[in-house]
């Protein structure tokens, strides 16, 4: 059955790439592009176009409200927006919410390898680099990586995060571990926003049956 998909933040960098990916997916139909700059408002789109899934790549200040509106309308939500407080969308009833601060498979592996290394090496620091228009600091990926490292080595403080914002960058992260006479660097680079699309499409296909009302992290589907 074709999955009816709406995208909020559709005029943005990630939103545009997502609309294209959904249009090219044989099992999906793009039913609404929601963005203030396009003149389509979320409530009207949910009512008039009846999506099965809303994908949100909007702003840290709009994501939670968009998620609440969609769930209240019985629409499942795939969330890529970072920099908002997840506590604002806990306990919602009516549809499922899937959140991933990073949809790139390489970034998911980077976090997993970092958690593994944290069990064996004494200290870690994170350097994340993004394009200059990124609104949140530190990045959601860096915050989640720090959490995974801390969970793997709870006796040590969470690793410091250093953030760089420069034109020319997309999304890049290094996790550097240090120990006696050696360092280990785990590095991931998203060179193009297409790197996120296989993960976004996978989440659209799985969110309806994920079995939990709120699920965080693409590794849950891998
Ligand atoms: N999860 C991931 O893998 C991943 C990857 C890249 C970026 N991101 C995140 O995705 C988000 C979007 O990034 P971007 O670079 O596309 O930003 P962007 O600024 O290019 O796009 C944001 C869009 O949201 C629109 N918008 C504003 N208010 C809105 C509202 N109330 N409802 C719907 N849309 C609204 C804006 O008009 C804009 O077009 C950021 O939080 C970014 O950190 C996540």
Residue 1's pLDDT is: 87
Distances (CA, A) of 100 to 103, 198, 202, 203: 6, 13, 12, 9
49 is annotated as an active-site residue: no
Per the document, the length of the chain is 222
The finding on whether 12 has its CB within 6 A of some atom of ligand 1 is yes
pTM for the whole thing?
Answer: 0.94
C-alpha torsion 47→52→54→55, nearest 10: -160
What does the pLDDT look like over 33-86, one tens digit per residue? 999 999 999 999 999 999 999 999 999 999 999 999 999 999 999 999 999 999
131 is annotated as an active-site residue: no
| % of residues, the chain, pLDDT over 70 | 100
Backbone torsion region of residue 54, taken as left when φ is above 0, otherwise alpha when ψ lies between -120 and 50, otherwise beta: beta
Q: Which residues of the chain have pLDDT under 50?
A: none
Structure tokens at 178: 């240090």
Structure tokens at 118: 């944290």
Q: How far is the CA of 13 from the centre of ligand 1 (A)?
A: 7
The finding on whether 62 has its CB within 6 A of some atom of ligand 1 is yes
The structural domains of the chain, ordered by start, are: 3-99+194-221 (3.40.50.720), 105-191 (3.30.360.10)
User: How far is it, in rounded angstroms, from Cα 123 to Cα 78?
Assistant: 34
Q: By alpha-carbon position, which residue is closest to atom 7 of ligand 1?
A: 14
Q: How far is the CA of 26 from the centre of ligand 1 (A)?
A: 25
């Amino acid at each position: 059955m074709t999955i009816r998909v709406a995208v909020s933040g559709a005029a943005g960098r990630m939103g545009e790439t997502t609309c294209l990916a959904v249009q090219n997916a044989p099992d999906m139909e793009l039913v609404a592009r929601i963005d203030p700059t396009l003149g389509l408002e979320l409530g009207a789109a949910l009512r008039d176009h009846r999506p099965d899934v809303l994908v949100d790549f909007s702003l840290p200040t709009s994501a939670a409200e968009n998620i609440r509106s969609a769930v209240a309308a019985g629409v499942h939500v795939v969330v890529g927006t970072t920099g908002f407080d997840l506590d604002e969308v806990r306990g919602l009833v009516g549809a499922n919410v899937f959140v991933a601060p990073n949809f790139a498979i390489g970034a998911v592996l980077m976090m997993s390898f970092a958690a593994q290394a944290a069990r064996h090496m004494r200290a870690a620091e994170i350097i994340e680099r993004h394009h200059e228009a990124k609104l949140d600091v530190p990045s959601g990926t860096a915050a989640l990586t720090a959490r995974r490292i801390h969970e793997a080595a709870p006796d040590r403080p969470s690793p410091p995060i250093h953030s760089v914002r420069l034109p020319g960058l997309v999304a890049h992260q290094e996790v550097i571990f240090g120990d006696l006479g050696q360092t280990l660097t785990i590095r991931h680079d998203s060179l193009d926003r297409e790197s996120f699309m296989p993960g976004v499409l996978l989440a659209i296909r799985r969110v309806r049956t994920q079995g939990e009302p709120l699920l965080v992290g693409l590794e849950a589907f891998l």
